[in-house]
Structure 1
């Protein structure tokens, strides 16, 4: 083989080697990108799973814990002797976010009380200042004050949220609420006239103003654990909510 032929052969080998190197590099990058994509998808999937697991509403377990309607209109749910940790729930029956909270975390509040792991106190207030939301809220809040039996109050509370009217329409009519009170088992003398006569409107207004001032509330729902407001990310995540209460009990 001549010197020229040897040089040509060497150049061809170099080109072939370079071509092979380029193929290997493309393959390496493809594998790297695929691995990164799989990890990213896995991370997204894990995040979605965690979000779903923490936002899953608990099943209500056992019977309703002892529930007492207090003279000021608040309602305490707790096993005998349980004084802490204290969960204060500030809610407005016309508030859509309060309805969502009840749907997602309402069973967790009740389960914690039933398990003797917390003292739960409901504070139904009126935060709205314009109609129809203000009037709707006042009618509902005043009507709830007519029920003095704890179990009946809880049933009525649930029906108010289940039948919550739009924020742009008049709702919570007295006739509707009389029917819901009976559905909740409140058939005692004077319940109907208490609701239709709206005798507790001023008490609802006074209590709302007092609570909002003392608690420095800017809106509902607001949930406080031992006096400290919980982040709504925790309030709307039953698993995180339970963990926070369990930690506070230690």
Structure 2
């Protein structure tokens, strides 16, 4: 091999070595870049999850007094500060409904807070929507018993206790003796409360009110939450921060 040929060979080898080294550097850069992107993606996913979780987290009780609660003659119950007429949050619920219990667990405190802050007028509509036993009887007994509570604060406490003790949809529950006991736990002091519950004095009124509300408001299931007469879409009612945002927006 001549000297010129040896020089050409050496040059080609150097070029190959340089190209190989360049490929290695590019490979390392890609690995680092992909790793960095992965970290950013994970951070974004984690941040998104935390953001979503924060919006779904139940609120704590607001400081200050609870808004006044008034039991209406038709069986509905209004919770609002004096003079607050809008926005109106109508809560159509059934004490036997598992989804209603979930709504109360997740957003019940938000309803109370919004009313306490004077940001909304909350109206509860306890109805009986089930048609088959044992859920129909369970719902009716609970709804009729709630009508035996005339004091607003006692009613709200009884309301919360009913959800806490909601029976399975497959068994007979909300028995009258239990309802009387829970009423006492809620602080009900009316002397005729026990007789009212055990006799199911308001059972027919509960059925009539439920039929009326379901037809007039076109209620297809419970819970249904309406803001100024319009049903909230999706999971808004079950997402405390979204619920609060919607009410705040409606107040403007």
1:119-134 equivalences in 2 (<5 Å): 119-134=121-136
User: 1:114-138 deviations in whole A, cap 9, x for unaligned?
Assistant: 1111110000011111111111111
Give the TM-score of the pair, scaled to structure 2: 0.96
Aligned to 2:193: 191
Deviation of the 1:154 alpha carbon: 0.4
Q: 2:204 aligns with which of 202, 205, 225?
A: 202
1:237 alignment counterpart: 239
Q: SS where residue 122 of structure 1 aligns?
A: strand
Deviations 1:83-139 (A, max 9, x none): 101000001101111111111111111111111111100000111111111111111
Q: 1:19 offset after TM fit, Å? A: 0.6
The separation in 2 between residues aligned to 1:197 and 1:243, in whole angstroms, is 43
**Which residue does 1:213 correspond to in 2?**
215
RMSD (Å), alpha carbons? 1.1
Larger displacement relative to structure 2 (121-130 or 54-63): 54-63
Q: Which moved more, 1:84-93 or 1:2-11?
A: 2-11
Alignment of 1:182 onto 2:154:
no
Q: Which runs of 5+ in 1 are unaligned?
A: none
Match for 1:74 among 54, 69, 76?
76
Normalization by structure 1: what TM-score? 0.97
In the alignment of these two chains, the number of paired residues is 250
**1:52-71 alignment to 2 at 5 Å?**
52-61=53-62, 62-71=64-73
**Counterpart in the other structure of 2:171:** 169
What secondary structure is seen at the aligned counterpart in 1 of 2:188? coil
